[in-house]
Amino acid sequence: MANPAPAKRIDRLHAKNPTDAAWRAQQARVDADIEGLRRDAGIDRFAANMEAEGVAPRQRIERLKAYVRARQNPKLGGL
């Protein structure tokens, strides 16, 4: 009889649960600090407001993408 294929384990870098997502966000902040990248207070406020409003994670991602695109495009009033 053949052995069943082993179950694939999803590690913290790929898991979709809130605990692992929060861990990845914290690691991104630590990595940015190590690299000497400055923080963007506007994005931090924008993200905090969405979290406080209870915006679903997938919608937050789309809103953040649009926010960053708009800020990067001078025609849209960006930097």
> Does residue 6 register a pLDDT over 80?
no
Distances (CA, A) of 46 to 1, 6, 8: 56, 42, 36
Give me the pLDDT at residue 49, please: 95
36: left (phi over 0), alpha (psi -120 to 50) or beta: left
Give me the pLDDT at residue 66, please: 92
Give me the pLDDT at residue 48, please: 92
Q: What are the residues whose beta carbons fall under 8 Å from the beta carbon of 63, sequence distance 6 or more?
A: 46, 50, 55
| This prediction's pTM | 0.56
Locate the domains of the chain by residue range. 40-79
Query: Which tens digits make up the pLDDT trace of 15-55?
Result: 878 888 888 889 988 999 999 988 888 888 999 999 999 99
Q: Which residues of 33-67 are buried (b: 16+ CB within 10 A; e: fewer)?
A: eeeeeeeeeeeeebbeebeeeeeeeeeeeeeeeeb
